[in-house]
Structure 1
Amino acid sequence: MIFQIIGMLIVFCAVMLLMSLIVSSCVQLIQKLANWRQKNLILGLQSLSQYVETQVHEWEDEKAHSLSNLHQSLQGAFLQQLTPVIGGSHRWLSYRRSEITVAELTSQIEAVLLHNGVNNKQGIAELCQKAGHYFSRIEVEMRFRFRRLTHISALFFTVMLVVVFQLDAIEIIEKGMNLTAPQQQVLSQAIQETCSIASSEDQQLLCLANALMQSNMISFTVLPDGIEYYVPISHGQLDVFTLISRLFGLLCSVVLISLGSPFWFERLKSIFVLKEGLKIK
């Protein structure tokens, strides 16, 4: 009995791991297509350029200088730093970086200020130091913003995945318990080999999907149980109890998948260690 429960847990964790890998792949694809990292960095640089302009205008001995376009000049310099050209002057060979160092920023600030006629070298040095500290602070805010976007998009894909493929956590547990001992053994062996041999996330995803689909644990069919799954009818009336139990199972799946692939990968490894320990005893 204990090995049947362990086999069920292995199968359940494998399903959650597979769904988490799919969600993370979708999120990474959206991040690349939408250039989230680059856009997030540009927002931070815009804030930095405004900060530098404000600091410069506070210098009493620099009020005579024409610095009305300093904000635009700094933004242009930062964007140029983010978009280097490879192999010549062809713009189609350029790309947009997603990271920039404080040293690169301070050198650009110094160059722009000197170009705009600000000759207070001591003031420029102090301002560059302040700008470096300011950028370090807003980097923390940019990371939190990026994480919020990532978590929101991950939740969106998780809900969509659960609803479309009708992934009820309770039904998955029941399917795992109903597998025969030989079926659980074969599936557990395939999952263990996947976790130990696969060297990349894509390989893990493909191997897990293949193993779970062959065992009929999951089906990548849109609405596999039909739309009636969300409108259960019993004796001509809506079966509220069945609907609530299914919605609860779907909600559990959303919460569990949202824990992420690293969490489920570690749970799988722990269960395999426990299984091997029980075999020895």
Structure 2
Amino acid sequence: MADLNSSYAYISPRFPVFYDAWVFAMFGNTHSDTSVYQKYLRSYSHRLVILDLCTGTGRVVRGLGRDYPHKSLEDAIIYGIDHAPAMVQRARATSAPTHPTQEFKWKVAPATGFYQVLDNGDKVDLLINSAGSISHLPNRRDVRLFLGQVKKSLRPETGVALISVLTEMIHGPQEEEEIGESNDPVEHGMGALVLPCKDDGEGLSGQWHKSPTKVIWNEDKTVRTDSFCLELRTDDGTVAWREDLHWELALFDEDAWAADVQGAGLEVVDTVPEGDTFQRFYVLSNPII
């Protein structure tokens, strides 16, 4: 469990700015996962509709809009949906379409109830749930609700969903090792970090100081809580802001997932290992009748 004095990271107003610096420190400007998404881009007689669910600060939306010349993206409708208003606000402020007829739509909604915020009953051709976001759903009931929303949102004949699962959440707790000592980018990001901050969104600048992430598993080893302290220090070393932050991640149960996908009226048509295998993509679609 998280400390009672700790805040849920994604609702902290300064966290989105740190989050972007943090992701850049781990992965740089690479968007290796968007090459996976590109494989599932298709041209249709209708405007392509893409949904980046749990968009965070809009990394995937920006990558799709900028990095790939696929013709269907030129007039695509690309949704970025997240449950955290601060993250969506940051995404909107840092993202812009790359073609005159391309359209970005930013919405605030949970992964368990996003279908109703799609405009005009839009049906989705490509749904993306990246960076292991599904593990933020703490229990099986929420996963089932999520899959039900995926089913409702996909275009019946051709819609495809790409769901990322972090491999560490498939394997579960491993032998203890020093946090931040691994060469794995995700593991490295869990160590102590000092990152530059040009503008925190509130008019302050200086350096972000993140403590090593503390990981605590619940008794039955199915849910873990990650917690850390984040400070913004001005150039003279003054701590201008400090907050203890946390989130929870649920272990991925492959057998339960297979049953719940089928129960939602979907099927797994492929799995895609990606890059250094820190994540696995499950490719879902409606069954072919």
Identify the TM-score tier after normalising by the shorter chain: under 0.3
TM-score (norm 1): 0.23
- By relative contact order (CA 8 Å, sep 6+), the higher-ranking structure is 1
Give the number of the structure whose alpha-carbon radius of gyration is greater. Answer: 1
- Larger fraction in strand: 2
